[in-house]
Structure 1
């Protein structure tokens, strides 16, 4: 059940911020290792996450709410899943181009719908399921470049490294959403935005500690390169904090599957950034896939009314 209309604008803004952040992060990943490129979004996101929380509490002063006993475990689980998902997405970029790598990860919508039903009992309107199907078809067109493929060709395409890492990334992004939603549900009070921002701050601190420790132990030389890249990495941190704040607000106020379905609109923003920012060519097949993705979002929204 949707508890607040905030989820829709929050999700749309999150999609734009994530596409922008991923485009910038892709450029950072060209000069850093996979783990180092993943760390920048958390390390440089900390100050912006704290600013967002402090600013919100200044605008809407209130005592801090209480936390349930599972608050920290859910933050840890969601944070770890996001680290794995982000690393897999960066790996997908290195196999194929920016748009296609993101397209594979967008299978998280259908994976999230299934997982949220199995783990949390969240149900969707039939139109929302139709929207998922439409969006998945659009994603597949984007990921295959519009080529006509038989069943055997399609299965072979799914076995390619870009497909495997992208789909795995989508799976862990779906687990991230579930972990974050459950974390926000353990925060007391009625202010869901405050709950989302509290979860954001705690999660990004945990993620920085986890991936930072891994980098110091396994790739100590990369830490200096992370610090030296502060000009570009700071942009990643800002966009990551803004995007995550909106995603977390969406998860706190609406079913995970619905947020992720509408979040597929990120593909449209991704194509725009891939074309204008990264100078990647847009094919007719990508435009057709985009139409299907947008149609899927429209169906999901209709089903939620």
Structure 2
């Protein structure tokens, strides 16, 4: 039977599923909107849904309106601004390499999150957890070496973009976890939803102002594609809600390591939607991911 402290496991699984769906939707919008236009989709159209989620949470929990201390805001800005950079780089990398390979580069985030979490938040990691993170990450790298993928790893530009995006996502996870645990006097659900609302508000404001100044036609194009954008925004807010719930309950490194199952979901998308076969090398990588994730949960 799941305890409250172990709810981060199903929360992370749900978030990973939602994120794969959102990434695929954003990728399809990169062509007509450009990298930053597609990036703004998840924030601009996700923000209204985050308010709805927060309202439902407040009614369900009966918590008072949170009033966080000053330390909440630097953590929030670190999370929000790092995620803007990370999302844009992710979409840029997806234009350079395949969907699955890009996802694999991004999943080096687990190791970087463990390091940043230890340095900035003092998150404790046991030896077994460190081993689990390493095994799962090695599995991700092996999975990325699909037929013809060896050439892709020799291309320096998409590799660097993917790794820097992973570092930005890692800093984002640390920033949001720092903000969530700084909210006093309410349940972890309320703290998570509250942080999500303000995080998406900052991201929407910053990126919309940037597009208004640099590419006003993109904002008009976004509004013209409101139907697919609305769905991508909902999936983005939905996935983020569950990421934040997981961050509230355990170290960010644990969440981001379990999130490596996203690579398995991406493989499923590639196999069933794009008819890309799974090679023996990819299969061996998947086995390592499963072993690493199993060790993490056991730890």
TM-score category, normalised to shorter length: over 0.9
Q: CA deviation at 1:188?
A: 0.8
Sort the Cα spacing of 1:159 and 1:126 in 2 relative to 1 into closer, same or farther, 3 A: farther
- Deviations along 1:39-89, whole A, 9 cap, x unmatched? 000000011111111111122222112211122222111100000000111
1:200-279 matches, within 5 Å, as 200-279=196-275
**Alpha-carbon distance between aligned partners in 2 of 1:145 and 1:135, rounded to the nearest angstrom:** 17
**What displacement does 1:17 show?**
0.7
Moved more, 79-88 or 111-120: 111-120
Which residue number corresponds to residue 22 of structure 1?
Answer: 23
Equivalent residues of 2:63, 2:190 under 8 A apart: no
How far apart, CA to CA, are the structure 2 residues paired with 1:278 and 1:218?
A: 35
- Structure 1 residues 158 and 177 mapped into 2: Cα distance closer, same or farther (>3 Å)? farther
The Cα offsets for residues 121-173 of structure 1, whole Å up to 9 and x where unpaired, read as 21212221111111121111122226797xxx9xx936622211111111000
SS in structure 1 at match of 2:295: helix
- Relative to 1, partners in 2 of residues 1:120 and 1:158: Cα closer, same or farther, differing over 3 Å? farther
CA separation in 2, counterparts of 1:288 and 1:147?
Answer: 17
Q: Give how far 1:190 is off.
A: 4.3
CA positional deviation for 1:277: 3.2
Show the counterpart of 1:72.
73
How many residue pairs end up in the alignment?
A: 297
Task: State the distance in 2 between where 1:248 and 1:146 align.
Answer: 36
Structure 2 spans left out of the alignment, 5+ residues: none
Deviation per CA, 1:162-201: give whole Å up to 9, x if none.
Answer: 2111111110000001100111122112401100000000
Residue 290 of structure 2: SS of its match in structure 1? Answer: helix
Task: Please name the residue that 2:145 is paired with.
Answer: 144
Q: Which residue of 2 aligns with 1:301?
A: 297
Contact 1:89 1:101 (C-alpha < 8 Å) held by counterparts:
yes
Moved more, 53-62 or 169-178: 53-62
Residues 1-305 of structure 1 mapped to structure 2, 5 A cutoff: 4-145=5-146, 157=153, 160-303=156-299
Report the Cα distance in structure 2 between the residues aligned to 1:111 and 1:66, rounded to whole angstroms. 31
Q: Which SS does the other structure have where 1:267 is aligned?
A: helix
- CA separation of 1:180 and 1:211: change in aligned 2, threshold 3 A: same
8 Å contact from structure 1 (residues 44, 234) kept in 2: yes
Which ranges of structure 1 fall in alignment gaps of 5 or more residues? none
SS at match of 2:65: coil
Structure 1 consecutive aligned stretches of length 4 or more whose deviation exceeds 6 Å: 146-149
Q: TM-score, normalised by structure 1?
A: 0.92
TM-score (norm 2): 0.94
CA-based RMSD? 2.0
